[in-house]
């Protein structure tokens, strides 16, 4: 623990001023890498040292992980145990807790369910169908986006339907019923005791607007409010903050307009640009010194962002060394891009002793991870992909979570629909449909119908009735214990009792095994939660309030709002792969920014609108400024999309970079018909066209050698690179199954599967990377 008093010495002058200016409205405009987290951390620590009760401090961060890390740092500075009493987390997690505490004011159950995007889209799709609307016109995704935007602008279903402008727009676009879907959607959410993500903010606004006593209560609780990444707040969040801060006016927002990249989900850059209008007496601090990156990187980033019109004036500079030039890499195909990136990483590790964990590969869309993964795997470099299908969205994980959700809130219709017949228990589509219709007719939940099936005249057989009441009895037996039982024990009982664990265990295909493992992993997490007490997401326990025991209910309240970005870093040394959006707030010594092509980055959806293009440019700026030491840019001339090859042009953003920061091995980046950009190294010899006959000497000999030299292959236990050229019709020999013939192949090496007909044991479906297989003959 540090001695008190001197801890602020670790800040520069502006940082220190910003940290100690605790009273009144404050805006900290913080350039990339200027130490804003540090300022926020020290500021809160300073408040506590001054004697401010941590219960009175609120800090809203962009991810829960950021909150967790900041809390840890504050605890280190301040010492003692008080740090845990700060209210910290994302908007969604903090206000979902407040909504649970005040649930009765809004007529919601305390254990309301949080619907994720998939749940809410599925509900919207149901409503569209029930209303007899054409799904081709009323695309669920589009309707969902419209509803989401409305909620984030605090526009209720009624105002939506009563707004002449909107009604006119919807009519003109041939979709006059969106308002109706919105109204029904909200009604159904409420009936199910569920909120979608946007409701967590919307309903917080309703709560604060309609209940003055509640507003005053939280105004007085949150005497000091901090909002990180303020440039990415939406209107709904803006109003919440404004309301809460109205009484004490100690509001500190931190952000960088140049890094606003979430307009697509309602973030309003005007919130930060107009902060001064809302609080004319504000103090502004500009953090302009970058401590993160080399001069080259900072200058390159500046040269790009100056192409944007609307921004707050600031000049980011750094005292860091010049550093290496940014290298630009051209590849023939997306796959070759992956190979070259992997190869360059290999060189970095050899020549600069770089660790995997110091390296990030950033891309615009999740789909781009595939070619990067392939390249890394071949070079035997271990990596982790963030984002994409998150753990909690995997089918098997969501299935079990749906049981948990239903146990906690039997009104949760989306969960009910998901698992009522999984594992199959003879309650099929027709029965479910009858139940849903009856529920709708009586305006009660499907669960209520099932619970009282004898009271309703539903046309179903006695056998099916029995199955339904068995199901109801099972869920109820878990439900009565949801409050007090040990969450892990209860979770295990549910997983076993519902038959899901057995179902997965019996599936011996490679995918089935992995599904089983995923469920086990979920249960392990639940176990940790059970043993570790309440979570970091829970609000501090108020004085006089009894300490919360871990329960399944608490667990579910937590994980509904967790994302991949919140995962604790593991200690494994792995390269990070993620979208640029996901990289926000992170930094790496080595950054590879890939896929710099027109219509990919900037995205095809953005090129026709100035505002959208500026957002893409800010995204590019964010990507560049993640790098501390060295930065590599790359693009491919052709790329597979929807399974077919398309031609690409280099991104305009490359042309916007100050050429002096770039390393071209020849004359530099010119017009598209010139070919000045050479690869970093000799190109990896790769077949561009799939139709080429399999190479006689096998896949790049060097690759194999490197793969053998390395220690741990990311996934495979065996070096099966000789199976890359496996083709249908080949004769093979298996360690255990004997000799056989390849019947079919699918997927991409080494994650491909082969169906092989063995002479002795019949047909087997094998995952190539695990198969102990030899090629015996070509035919």
Partner DNA sequence: GTGTAATGCTATTGG
Partner DNA sequence: AGCATTACAC
In whole angstroms, how close is the CB of 677 to DNA at the nearest point?
24
Q: Which of 22, 421, 695, 765 binds DNA (CB under 7 A)?
A: 421
Task: Give the length of the chain.
Answer: 779
Q: Does 429 bind DNA (CB under 7 A)?
A: yes
Handedness of CA 80, 82, 84, 88 (dihedral sign): negative
Residues from 40 through 59 that contact DNA (CB under 7 A): none
Question: Using CB under 7 A as the criterion, what x/- string covers residues 592-611 for binding DNA?
Answer: -----------x-xx-----
Work out whether 746 is an interface residue with DNA (CB under 7 A): yes
Q: Which residues on adjacent β-strands are paired with residue 593?
A: 362, 633
Q: Is 196 annotated as catalytic?
A: no
Quote the distance between the C-alpha of residue 121 and its chain's center: 17
Distance CA(425)–CA(420), nearest Å, equals 8
Burial of 769 (0-12, 13-18, 19+ CB in 10 A): buried
Place of tokens 């130490």: 35
Task: Please identify, using beta-carbon distances, which residue of 135 and 441 lies nearer to DNA.
Answer: 135
**Where in 341-360 is the site for DNA (CB under 7 A)?**
none
**Burial degree of 690 (CB within 10 A; 0-12, 13-18, 19+):** exposed
Q: Does 424 bind DNA (CB under 7 A)?
A: yes
Q: How many CA atoms lie within 13 A of 436 on its CB side?
A: 18
Question: Based on CB atoms, which residue is closest to DNA, 89 or 491?
Answer: 89
Task: Please say whether the beta carbons of 385 and 582 come within 8 A.
Answer: no
Smallest gap from Cβ 135 to DNA, in A, equals 8
Q: Does 440 bind DNA (CB under 7 A)?
A: no
DSSP conformational letter for 85: G
**Which is closer to DNA, CB of 299 or CB of 616?**
616
Task: For residue 135, report the phi and psi dihedrals to the nearest 5 degrees.
Answer: -65, -20
Q: In whole angstroms, what is the distance from residue 535 CA to residue 551 CA?
A: 11
Q: With respect to DNA, which residue has the nearer C-beta, 334 or 412?
A: 334
Q: Which of 55, 115, 182, 197 binds DNA (CB under 7 A)?
A: 197
* 437 near DNA (CB under 7 A): no
For DNA, which is the closer residue by CB, 12 or 751?
A: 751
CA-CA-CA-CA torsion sign (299, 304, 307, 310) = negative
Binding mask 213-242 for DNA (x = CB under 7 A): ------------------------------
Is 228 a known active-site residue?
yes
534 is catalytic: no
Instruction: Provide the minimum distance between the beta carbon of 583 and DNA in the complex, in angstroms, as a whole number.
Output: 9
Asked if 63 touches DNA (CB under 7 A), the answer is yes
What's the min distance (Å) between Cβ of 91 and DNA? 7
Report the distance separating Cα 656 and Cα 305, nearest Å: 9
Give the strand pairing for 289-290 and 317-318: parallel
Residue among 204, 318, 402, 464 that touches DNA (CB under 7 A):
464
- Residues 68, 100, 139, 548: which binds DNA (CB under 7 A)? 139
542 catalytic, yes or no?
A: no
The one segment of 15-23, 339-347, 545-553, 559-567 that binds DNA by CB under 7 A: 559-567
Q: Does 387 bind DNA (CB under 7 A)?
A: yes
* Minimum distance of DNA from residue 104's CB (angstroms): 24
Total chain residues near DNA (CB under 7 A): 54
H or E segment to which residue 740 belongs: strand 738-746
Q: Which C-beta is closer to DNA: that of 78 or that of 143?
A: 143
The window from 176-184, 364-372, 442-450, 765-773 that contacts DNA (CB under 7 A) reads 364-372
User: With CB under 7 A as the contact rule, which of the stretches 338-346, 486-494, 521-529, 557-565 interacts with DNA?
Assistant: 557-565
State the catalytic residue, choosing from 102, 119, 198, 229: 229
Residue from 2, 171, 209, 265 binding DNA (CB under 7 A): 265
Please report how close the Cβ of residue 151 comes to DNA at its closest, in angstroms: 8
**Residue 148 interacts with DNA (CB under 7 A): yes or no:** yes
Q: 525 CB contacts (<8 Å, ≥6 apart)?
A: none
Instruction: List residues bridging with 746 in a β-sheet.
Output: 753
Site for DNA in 610-669 (CB under 7 A): 612, 640-643
| Residue nearer to DNA on the CB measure, 156 or 603 | 603
| Cα gap 391→575, rounded to integer Å | 19
Give the shortest CB-639-to-DNA separation in angstroms. 8
Q: How many other C-beta atoms lie within 10 A of the C-beta of residue 777? A: 11
- The answer to whether residue 365 forms part of the interface with DNA (CB under 7 A) is yes
Query: Got the DSSP string for 580-638?
Result: HHHHTT--EEEEEE---BTBBTTBTTTTT-HHHHHHHHHHHHHHHTTEEEEEEEEEEEE
Q: How many CA atoms lie within 13 A of 501 on its CB side?
A: 13
Cβ–Cβ contacts within 10 Å for residue 230, how many? Answer: 29
Residue 132 makes CB contacts below 8 A (sequence gap 6+) with none
Separation between Cα atoms, residue 733 and residue 758, nearest integer Å: 9
Instruction: Candidates 36, 581, 679, 769: give the one binding DNA (CB under 7 A).
Output: 581
Which residue in 146, 327, 398, 626 is the catalytic one?
626
Helix (H) or strand (E) segment spanning residue 185: helix 178-191
- Tell me: does residue 289 bind DNA (CB under 7 A): no
Chain residues in the site for DNA (CB under 7 A): 63, 90-93, 117, 122, 136, 139, 141, 148, 152, 197-198, 261, 264-266, 364-367, 387, 395, 421, 424-431, 460, 464, 561, 563-565, 578-579, 581-582, 603, 605-606, 612, 640-643, 746-748
- The residues assigned a catalytic role are 36-37, 228-229, 259, 626
């Amino acid at each position: 623990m540090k001695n008190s008093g001197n801890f602020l010495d670790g800040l520069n002058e502006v940082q220190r001023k910003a940290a100690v200016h605790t009273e009144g409205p404050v805006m900290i405009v913080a350039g990339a890498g200027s130490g804003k987290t540090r300022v926020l951390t020290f500021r809160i620590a300073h408040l506590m040292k001054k004697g401010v009760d941590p219960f009175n401090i609120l800090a809203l961060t962009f991810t829960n992980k950021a909150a967790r890390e900041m809390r840890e740092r504050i605890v280190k500075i301040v010492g003692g145990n008080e740090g845990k009493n700060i209210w910290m987390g994302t908007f969604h997690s903090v206000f979902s807790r407040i909504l649970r505490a005040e649930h009765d004011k809004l007529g919601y159950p305390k254990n309301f369910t949080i619907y994720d995007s998939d749940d809410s889209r599925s509900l919207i799709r149901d409503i569209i169908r029930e209303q007899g609307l054409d799904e081709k016109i009323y695309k669920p995704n589009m309707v969902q986006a419209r509803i989401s935007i409305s909620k984030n602008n605090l526009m209720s279903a009624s105002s939506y339907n009563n707004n002449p402008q909107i009604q006119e727009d919807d009519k003109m676009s041939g979709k006059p019923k969106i308002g109706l879907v919105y109204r029904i959607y909200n009604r159904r959410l409420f009936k199910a005791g569920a909120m979608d993500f946007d409701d967590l903010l919307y309903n917080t606004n309703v709560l604060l607007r309609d209940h003055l006593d509640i507003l005053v209560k939280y105004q007085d609780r949150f005497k000091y409010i901090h909002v990180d990444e303020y440039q990415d707040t939406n209107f709904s969040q803006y109003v919440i903050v404004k309301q809460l801060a109205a009484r004490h006016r100690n509001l500190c927002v931190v952000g960088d307009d140049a890094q606003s990249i979430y307009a697509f989900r309602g973030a309003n850059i005007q919130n930060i640009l107009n902060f001064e209008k809302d609080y004319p007496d504000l103090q502004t601090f500009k953090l302009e010194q970058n401590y993160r990156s080399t001069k080259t990187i900072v200058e390159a980033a500046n040269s790009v962002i100056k192409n944007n019109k609307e921004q707050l004036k600031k000049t980011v500079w750094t005292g860091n060394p010049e550093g290496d030039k940014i290298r630009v890499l051209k590849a023939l195909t997306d796959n070759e891009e992956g190979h070259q990136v992997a190869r360059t990483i290999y060189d970095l590790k050899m020549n600069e002793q770089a660790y995997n964990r110091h390296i990030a590969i950033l891309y615009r869309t999740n789909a781009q991870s595939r070619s990067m993964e392939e390249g890394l795997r071949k070079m035997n470099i271990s990596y982790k992909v963030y984002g994409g299908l998150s753990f909690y969205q995997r089918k098997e994980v969501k299935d079990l979570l749906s049981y948990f959700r239903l146990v906690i809130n039997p009104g949760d219709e989306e969960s009910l629909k998901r698992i009522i017949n999984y594992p199959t228990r003879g309650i099929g589509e027709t029965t479910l449909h009858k139940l849903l219709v009856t529920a709708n007719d009586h305006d009660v939940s499907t669960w209520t119908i099932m619970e009282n099936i004898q009271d309703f005249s539903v046309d179903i057989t006695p056998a099916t009735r029995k199955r339904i009441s068995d199901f109801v009895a099972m869920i109820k037996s878990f439900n009565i214990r949801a409050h007090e039982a040990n969450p892990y024990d209860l979770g295990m009982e549910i997983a076993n009792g519902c038959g899901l664990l057995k179902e997965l265990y019996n599936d011996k295909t490679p995918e089935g095994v992995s599904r089983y493992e995923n469920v086990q992993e979920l249960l392990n997490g639940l176990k940790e939660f059970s043993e570790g007490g309440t979570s970091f997401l829970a609000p501090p326990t108020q004085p006089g309030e009894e300490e919360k025991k871990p329960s399944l209910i608490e667990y579910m309240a937590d994980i509904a709002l967790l994302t991949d970005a919140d995962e604790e870093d593991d200690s494994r040394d792995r390269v990070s792969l993620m979208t640029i959006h996901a990289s926000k707030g992170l930094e790496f010594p080595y950054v590879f920014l890939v896929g710099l092509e027109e219509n990919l980055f900037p995205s095809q959806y953005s090129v026709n609108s100035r505002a959208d293009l500026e957002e893409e440019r800010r995204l590019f700026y964010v990507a560049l400024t993640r790098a501390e030491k060295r930065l590599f840019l790359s693009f491919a001339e052709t790329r597979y999309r929807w399974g077919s090859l398309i031609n690409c042009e280099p991104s305009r953003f490359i042309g916007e970079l100050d050429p002096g920061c770039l390393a071209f091995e020849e004359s530099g980046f010119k017009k598209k018909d010139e070919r000045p950009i050479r690869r970093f190294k000799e190109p990896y010899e790769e077949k561009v066209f799939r139709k080429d006959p399999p190479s006689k000497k096998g896949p790049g000999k060097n690759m194999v050698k490197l793969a053998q030299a390395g220690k741990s292959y990311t996934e495979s236990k065996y070096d099966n690179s000789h199976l890359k050229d496996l083709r249908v019709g080949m004769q093979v020999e298996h360690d255990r199954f004997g000799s056989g013939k390849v019947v079919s192949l699918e997927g991409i090496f080494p994650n491909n599967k082969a169906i092989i007909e063995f002479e002795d044991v019949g047909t087997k479906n094998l995952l190539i990377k695990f198969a102990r297989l030899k090629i015996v003959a070509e035919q």
